[in-house]
């Protein structure tokens, strides 16, 4: 085979190509002459930190926005997508990182929104329901199609988002952080579906901050950094170190347990806490659980999806009600207090779903940062803008938010910086105990390192830190103590020197695998 013939074979395998794509926003260069190929029947994984340009490139390829310059080739022919509908009509679908579901509508109505199946008597709801059941069966998820989306847990909502994309007969499917809220078992099912799709010739673009997980499914990897493509290689030529090196220029560590000081007294005490399933499943998601946390201590709570981690933190923070048990903060019972009263006493929660529970999308960066502390600079009906601005400026410095300024729209920030705003908002209340539910969900390795650095510094300053995670590397980073939850109870407790295998065995992950 001649070189020209081989090159032609490579080109014929590319179903969609981006050539010299550039995109500017108000003079800021988000993409700088990117060349990107999507190969037929393969998984092309796109790596990069928050702000590297991944989402911008995918928005261009799916018709959400137009490039400033460059062109897109579909089957070798130039094409311009005027909208997402136009791109979808050409066989390109996207699953966005932030869920775009209508919470008040059913699973069925969300999946067929804007694409209703019309029969002789109007919308054929029965056929829509039948197709939804088939999609959910393929994804091995037992969800009633008529269930309102707002009643589903976050992982199930993610499955619905995936099912909606699969319901469109796409040639190219872009998945932006599709597993960010999924359990290990759900990820395995999704990977089986992906391989079934690629076997049928569907091309997948896969974006994930779960680097090791993404390497399991990729056929070809591309790395973006600061709007430029820094590396591209087939799976056989890369490993985790290659990905990290090309993403951030060095091997970032998430840190180690801070040392050189003594823990203070017990500041948070949970005694025999019982929390029923919020969805009415008839069982306890937190089952007679007890836990003490000392000032200056960092405790990681690890467990599989459904272990009760989120429900535990939300109950401590006042978002869920316990049927029995006590929550004691700094020696005083707080179980009867409201969320606001617990915040005032020194208890702060950074929720798992930052878009739904952590941020107000219509507010600016500064307004989001000051929201939880507003009573500190409010007297009667008057607010001291000077004091508020001082708090905002300090928070931006403390948690290193990269922003054009306090007045910037919260939606203009990358996922990592949005998460730092949520953390900064709660830290501004000067809490005694900081609770964080999956603090690194949907953020890149560099942003993760910054977040964990902030938490370590807070522990050294004497605050207690409790965070949940479903990632082993995060579990083994800055925590002094690791609590394993399983079926609502503590299954094991370890120090920072525990082996990964012991954590997996205690959590049931080895069995699930």
pLDDT per position as a tens digit, 58-114? 989 999 899 999 999 999 999 999 998 899 889 898 887 667 788 899 999 999 988
Q: How confident is the model at residue 6 (pLDDT cuts 50, 70, 90)?
A: very low
Mean pLDDT (whole number) for 260-283: 91
State the SS3 of 5-23.
HHHHHHHHCEEEEEEEEEE
Mean pLDDT (whole number) for 120-126: 89
Which of 250, 251, 248 is closest to 52 using CA atoms? Answer: 248
Q: Copy the structure tokens of residue 58.
A: 């995918």
Cβ neighbours around 167 below 10 Å, total: 17
Q: Does domain 11-248 have CATH number 2.40.50.140?
A: no
Strand ranges, E, within 344-438? 347-350, 378-379, 382-383, 433-437
- Cα(325)–Cα(135) distance, integer angstroms: 41
- Cα(426)–Cα(342) distance, integer angstroms: 12
Q: How confident is the model at residue 385 (pLDDT cuts 50, 70, 90)?
A: confident
C-alpha Rg value of the chain to the nearest Å: 24
Mean pLDDT (whole number) for 13-18: 92
User: What is the SS3 assignment for 284?
Assistant: strand
Q: What is the pLDDT of residue 424?
A: 84
Q: Copy the structure tokens of residue 386.
A: 């000077």
pLDDT at 501 over 60: yes
Cα dihedral 135/139/140/145 (nearest 10): -40
- How high does pLDDT run on average in the chain? 86
- Cα(166)–Cα(173) distance, integer angstroms: 8
Classify domain 252-346+431-513 at the CATH topology level.
Rossmann fold (3.40.50)
User: What is the SS3 assignment for 407?
Assistant: coil
Q: How confident is the model at residue 18 (pLDDT cuts 50, 70, 90)?
A: very high
Q: What is the pLDDT of residue 38?
A: 95
φ/ψ of residue 3, rounded to 5: -60, -40
The answer to whether 11-248 and 252-346+431-513 have equal CATH topology is: yes
Q: What is the pLDDT of residue 69?
A: 94
Residue extents of the structural domains in the chain: 11-248, 252-346+431-513, 355-430
Mean pLDDT (whole number) for 238-252: 76
Q: Number of C-alpha atoms within 13 angstroms, CB side, residue 298?
A: 27
- Cα(394)–Cα(371) distance, integer angstroms: 14
- Inter-helix orientation angle 385-398/415-427, to 10°: 120
Q: Residue 203 to residues 94, 313, 357, 406, 444: CA-CA distances in angstroms? A: 12, 40, 34, 41, 24
- Cα(511)–Cα(513) distance, integer angstroms: 5
Strand 228-234: give its sheet, edge to edge.
92-95, 172-176, 203-207, 43-47, 220-225, 228-234
Highest mean pLDDT among 229-238, 375-384, 399-408: 229-238
Q: What's the whole-model pTM score?
A: 0.62
Q: Which of 95-99, 155-159, 335-339 has the lowest mean pLDDT?
A: 95-99
- Cα(408)–Cα(412) distance, integer angstroms: 7
């Amino acid at each position: 085979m001649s070189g020209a013939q081989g090159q032609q074979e490579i080109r014929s395998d590319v179903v969609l190509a981006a050539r010299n794509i550039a995109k500017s926003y108000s003079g800021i260069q988000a993409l700088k002459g990117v060349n990107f190929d999507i190969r037929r029947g393969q998984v092309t994984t796109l790596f990069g930190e928050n702000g590297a340009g991944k989402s911008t490139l995918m928005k261009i390829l799916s018709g959400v926005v137009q490039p400033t310059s460059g062109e897109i080739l579909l089957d070798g022919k130039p094409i311009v997508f005027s909208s997402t509908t136009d791109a979808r009509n050409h066989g390109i679908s996207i699953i966005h990182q932030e869920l775009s579901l209508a919470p008040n509508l059913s699973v069925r109505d969300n999946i067929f929104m804007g694409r209703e199946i019309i029969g002789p008597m109007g919308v054929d709801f029965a056929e829509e329901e039948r197709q939804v059941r088939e999609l959910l069966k393929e994804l091995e998820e037992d969800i009633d199609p008529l269930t309102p989306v707002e009643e589903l847990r976050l992982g199930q909502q993610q499955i619905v988002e995936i099912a909606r994309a699969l319901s469109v007969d796409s040639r190219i499917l872009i998945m932006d952080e599709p597993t960010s809220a999924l359990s290990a078992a759900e990820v395995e099912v999704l990977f089986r579906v992906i391989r079934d799709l690629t076997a049928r010739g569907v091309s997948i673009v896969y974006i994930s901050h779960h680097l090791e997980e993404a390497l399991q499914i990729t056929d070809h990897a591309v790395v973006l950094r600061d709007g430029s493509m820094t590396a591209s290689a087939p799976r056989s030529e890369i490993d985790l170190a290659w990905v990290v090196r090309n993403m951030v220029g060095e091997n970032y560590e998430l840190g180690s347990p801070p040392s050189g000081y003594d823990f203070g007294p017990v500041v948070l005490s949970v005694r025999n806490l019982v929390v029923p399933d919020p969805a009415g499943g008839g069982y306890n998601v937190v089952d007679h659980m007890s836990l003490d946390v000392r000032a200056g201590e960092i405790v990681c709570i690890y467990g599989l999806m459904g272990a009760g981690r989120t429900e535990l933190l939300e109950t401590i923070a006042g978002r869920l009600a316990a049927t029995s048990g006590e929550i004691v903060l700094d020696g005083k019972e707080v179980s009867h207090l409201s969320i606001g009263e617990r915040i005032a006493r020194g208890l702060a929660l950074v929720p798992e779903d930052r878009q739904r529970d952590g941020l107000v999308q219509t507010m600016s960066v500064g307004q989001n940062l000051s929201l939880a502390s507003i009573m500190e600079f409010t007297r009667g009906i008057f607010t001291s803008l000077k004091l508020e601005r001082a708090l905002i400026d300090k928070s931006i410095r403390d948690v290193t938010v990269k922003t054009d300024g306090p007045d910037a729209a919260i939606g203009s920030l990358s996922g990592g910086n949005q998460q730092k705003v949520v953390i900064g908002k709660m830290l501004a209340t000067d809490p005694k105990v900081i609770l964080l539910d999956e603090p690194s969900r949907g953020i890149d390795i560099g942003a993760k390192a910054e977040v964990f650095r902030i938490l370590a510094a807070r522990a050294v300053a004497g605050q207690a830190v409790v965070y949940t995670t479903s990632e082993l590397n995060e579990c083994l980073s800055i925590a002094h103590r690791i609590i394993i939850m399983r079926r609502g109870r503590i299954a094991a407790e370890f120090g920072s020197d525990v082996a990964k295998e012991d954590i997996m065995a205690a959590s049931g992950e080895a069995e699930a695998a």
